[in-house]
Structure 1
Amino acid sequence: MSLLTLPLTGFCDTTVDWGRYAELFEYDAGEDRLYLPEPVEVGGSAAESMG
Protein backbone atom coordinates (compact mmCIF):
# COMPACT_ATOMS: atom_id res chain seq x y z
CA MET A 1 0.00 0.00 0.00
CA SER A 2 1.32 3.40 -0.92
CA LEU A 3 0.02 6.30 1.17
CA LEU A 4 0.94 8.73 -1.57
CA THR A 5 -1.85 7.43 -3.80
CA LEU A 6 -4.65 7.96 -1.26
CA PRO A 7 -6.65 11.20 -1.15
CA LEU A 8 -5.52 13.16 1.92
CA THR A 9 -9.03 13.88 3.25
CA GLY A 10 -10.01 10.22 3.00
CA PHE A 11 -6.79 9.16 4.72
CA CYS A 12 -7.33 11.65 7.58
CA ASP A 13 -10.99 10.65 8.01
CA THR A 14 -10.05 6.97 8.14
CA THR A 15 -7.22 7.62 10.61
CA VAL A 16 -9.54 9.56 12.93
CA ASP A 17 -12.24 6.89 12.70
CA TRP A 18 -9.80 4.08 13.51
CA GLY A 19 -8.25 6.06 16.36
CA ARG A 20 -11.66 6.74 17.90
CA TYR A 21 -12.73 3.11 17.48
CA ALA A 22 -9.53 1.92 19.20
CA GLU A 23 -10.03 4.60 21.88
CA LEU A 24 -6.61 6.12 21.16
CA PHE A 25 -8.21 9.54 21.33
CA GLU A 26 -11.63 11.06 21.98
CA TYR A 27 -13.80 13.73 20.41
CA ASP A 28 -15.78 16.39 22.27
CA ALA A 29 -18.63 17.44 19.95
CA GLY A 30 -19.56 20.40 22.19
CA GLU A 31 -16.09 21.92 21.81
CA ASP A 32 -15.44 20.40 18.35
CA ARG A 33 -12.12 19.14 19.74
CA LEU A 34 -10.10 15.96 19.29
CA TYR A 35 -7.93 15.06 22.30
CA LEU A 36 -5.93 12.31 24.00
CA PRO A 37 -7.74 10.83 27.00
CA GLU A 38 -6.13 10.83 30.43
CA PRO A 39 -4.15 7.64 31.14
CA VAL A 40 -5.95 5.13 33.34
CA GLU A 41 -4.06 3.76 36.34
CA VAL A 42 -4.18 -0.02 36.35
CA GLY A 43 -3.44 -1.69 39.67
CA GLY A 44 -1.19 -4.75 39.57
CA SER A 45 -0.62 -7.32 36.89
CA ALA A 46 -2.87 -10.23 35.96
CA ALA A 47 -0.41 -12.65 37.57
CA GLU A 48 -0.56 -10.79 40.89
CA SER A 49 -4.37 -10.79 40.94
CA MET A 50 -4.51 -14.56 40.30
CA GLY A 51 -2.86 -15.17 43.62
Structure 2
Amino acid sequence: MKTNGTVKLEENERQRCEIWTRVMGYHRPVSAFNPGKQQEQQDRLHFRENRGK
Protein backbone atom coordinates (compact mmCIF):
# COMPACT_ATOMS: atom_id res chain seq x y z
CA MET A 1 0.00 0.00 0.00
CA LYS A 2 1.40 3.41 -0.96
CA THR A 3 0.31 6.66 0.71
CA ASN A 4 1.75 10.13 0.15
CA GLY A 5 4.94 8.74 -1.44
CA THR A 6 5.66 6.29 1.40
CA VAL A 7 5.17 2.54 1.41
CA LYS A 8 3.29 0.98 4.31
CA LEU A 9 3.40 -2.79 4.79
CA GLU A 10 0.63 -4.73 6.46
CA GLU A 11 1.69 -7.16 9.21
CA ASN A 12 1.10 -10.17 6.94
CA GLU A 13 3.49 -8.64 4.33
CA ARG A 14 6.40 -8.26 6.73
CA GLN A 15 9.35 -10.64 6.95
CA ARG A 16 11.45 -11.07 10.07
CA CYS A 17 15.05 -9.88 9.66
CA GLU A 18 17.70 -12.19 11.08
CA ILE A 19 20.64 -10.39 12.70
CA TRP A 20 24.10 -11.97 12.60
CA THR A 21 27.17 -10.93 14.57
CA ARG A 22 30.81 -11.92 14.66
CA VAL A 23 31.74 -13.90 17.79
CA MET A 24 35.16 -15.41 18.43
CA GLY A 25 36.18 -15.13 14.78
CA TYR A 26 33.07 -16.52 13.09
CA HIS A 27 29.55 -15.31 12.32
CA ARG A 28 26.44 -16.57 14.15
CA PRO A 29 22.79 -15.53 14.18
CA VAL A 30 21.87 -13.66 17.37
CA SER A 31 18.71 -15.78 17.59
CA ALA A 32 20.94 -18.82 18.29
CA PHE A 33 22.44 -17.19 21.41
CA ASN A 34 21.37 -18.22 24.90
CA PRO A 35 19.24 -15.62 26.80
CA GLY A 36 22.25 -14.18 28.67
CA LYS A 37 24.25 -13.66 25.49
CA GLN A 38 21.20 -12.11 23.75
CA GLN A 39 20.88 -9.60 26.60
CA GLU A 40 24.61 -8.84 26.38
CA GLN A 41 24.16 -8.14 22.65
CA GLN A 42 21.28 -5.73 23.39
CA ASP A 43 23.30 -3.93 26.08
CA ARG A 44 26.27 -3.20 23.82
CA LEU A 45 27.00 0.46 23.17
CA HIS A 46 27.81 1.55 19.63
CA PHE A 47 30.24 4.38 19.06
CA ARG A 48 31.92 6.13 16.17
CA GLU A 49 35.59 6.97 16.54
CA ASN A 50 36.66 10.47 15.48
CA ARG A 51 39.52 10.45 13.03
CA GLY A 52 42.47 12.62 14.06
CA LYS A 53 44.74 14.44 11.65
Which TM-score applies when normalising by structure 1? 0.30
**More strand, by proportion:** 2
Which TM-score applies when normalising by structure 2? 0.29
